[in-house]
Amino acid sequence: MLDPVGPLPASVYWRRRAVAVGGALLAFLVMLWLTTWLLIPSGSDLPTDTAAHSAPDTAVAAPQPPAAPAPPAPASPAPAAPGAPNTPLPGPTDPGAPPGTAGAPPGPAAPTAGPGDETVRPDDTPRPSVLVPEAAPSPPTGPVPCADGMIEVRAETGAPTYPAGARPELRLVVTNTSGQPCVRDLDGAEQEIAVWSGDGAEKLWSSNDCVNPATEDLRTLVPGQPVAFAVTWSGLGSEAGCAAERDRVAPGGYRVLARLGTVVSEPVPLLMS
């Protein structure tokens, strides 16, 4: 076996043996590598979190504690008794508002909130002229004083009918009905607007009872040109000096009269409904 025998030179046989041995060794190494590769996984396939794979799965294995009982649901309010009103909760109240006024809409101002201002005041409402006799020339000394017979005093109302609790507007109108200009003192103390009972037996209110301002108002009255004054009556009765408690007049029919000095107007009807 060690000494090759054959027709070829011995070196040929040794080379053949070396190739055979080398091939066998190479095949062995290849088989060894394949076996190792198949039996041992590659490093890239190993999990990175070894602790996660090596530790036992205690989350599954460990027994779970019993669940805590759920808290009891809040008790619902007892149903209202049959027929009981379903009252909503009160809303917020504005600061400073009196109790019980939250959410209440503001109402109209009450017409009976008080007596108000009952002072007689000038009324500049335009008025048509009054027919008078043909004007006579004034004397060289100027217009003469207006005698009572030279003027007319008339009472007026803002409306023939007012609702109960309203404040009627009443007027005094002075007109020079003579044929020449004249001078008259329209002092407030000389004026009066009054409300009388329907039969004219009792004076219920006068503009001079509670307010009687004395003023200097010397005017030249042009013939046929009215001069008016107005007052807003509170609808309350009055007495001279206005010391007694004032009561509201009842609904019904009344008379309105106006006066300047000693000249008194004809009565004008006023209905308080």
Report if residue 181 sits inside a domain: yes
Question: Residue 200: inside a domain, yes or no?
Answer: yes
Which residue range forms the structural domain that includes residue 259? Answer: 121-272
d(CA 224, CA 226): 6
Is pLDDT above 50 for 54? Answer: no
Question: In this predicted structure, which of 17-21, 93-97, 189-193 has the lowest mean pLDDT?
Answer: 93-97
Residue 169 lies in a domain: yes
Residues 149 and 33 in one domain: no
Q: Do 17 and 140 fall within a single domain?
A: no
The answer to whether residues 131 and 6 belong to one domain is no
Are 172 and 264 contained in the same domain?
yes
What is the domain count for the chain? 2
* DSSP conformation letters of 200-240: SS-EEEEHHHH-------EEEEPBT--EEEEEE--SB---T
79 within a domain of the structure (yes/no)? no
Which of 75-84, 173-182, 236-245 is predicted with the least confidence, judged by mean pLDDT?
A: 75-84
Q: What is the pLDDT of residues 262-273, one digit of tens each?
A: 999 999 999 999
| Whole-number CA gyration radius for the chain | 61
Query: Is residue 72 a part of any domain in this protein?
Result: no
Question: Residue 2: which pLDDT band, with cuts at 50, 70 and 90?
Answer: low
Residues 4 and 136 both lie in one domain = no
- Contact call for residues 221 and 145 (beta carbons, < 8 A): no
Q: Which residue has the tokens 């004076």?
A: 203
Domain membership of residue 3 (yes or no) is yes
Q: What is the mean pLDDT of residues 243-267?
A: 96
Long-range contacts of 224-227 (CB under 8 A, 24+ apart): 224/129, 224/130, 224/131, 224/132, 224/175, 224/176, 224/177, 225/129, 225/130, 225/175, 225/176, 226/127, 226/129, 226/130, 226/154, 226/173, 226/174, 226/175, 227/173, 227/174, 227/175, 227/186
Domain identity same for 140 and 254: yes
- Specify the higher pLDDT residue, 46 or 233: 233
pLDDT, residue 237, reads: 96
Instruction: Report helix, strand or coil for 259.
Output: strand
Residue 75 lies in a domain: no
Tokens of 215: 């003023």
Residues 136, 267 within the same domain: yes
The vertex-161 CA angle with 158 and 165, nearest 5°, equals: 95
| Mean pLDDT over each residue of the chain, to the nearest integer | 76
Q: How confident is the model at residue 33 (pLDDT cuts 50, 70, 90)?
A: confident
Q: Is the confidence at residue 7, as pLDDT, over 90?
A: no
Q: Which residues of 63-100 are buried (b: 16+ CB within 10 A; e: fewer)?
A: eeeeeeeeeeeeeeeeeeeeeeeeeeeeeeeeeeeeee
The one-character DSSP state at 248 is: B
Same domain, 19 and 136: no
pLDDT tens per residue, range 207-224: 999 987 788 889 999 999
User: What pLDDT does residue 34 have?
Assistant: 75
So what's the pLDDT on residue 47?
45
Structure tokens at 148: 């009572």
Helix ranges (H only) for the chain are 10-39, 50-54, 58-61, 207-210
Are 23 and 145 found together in one domain? no
Judge contact between 219 and 184, C-beta under 8 A: yes
Please report, for the domain that includes residue 133, its CATH number: 2.60.40.10
pLDDT tens-digit series, residues 56-105: 444 433 445 445 555 454 444 444 444 444 433 333 333 333 333 333 33
Q: Is residue 46 part of a domain?
A: no
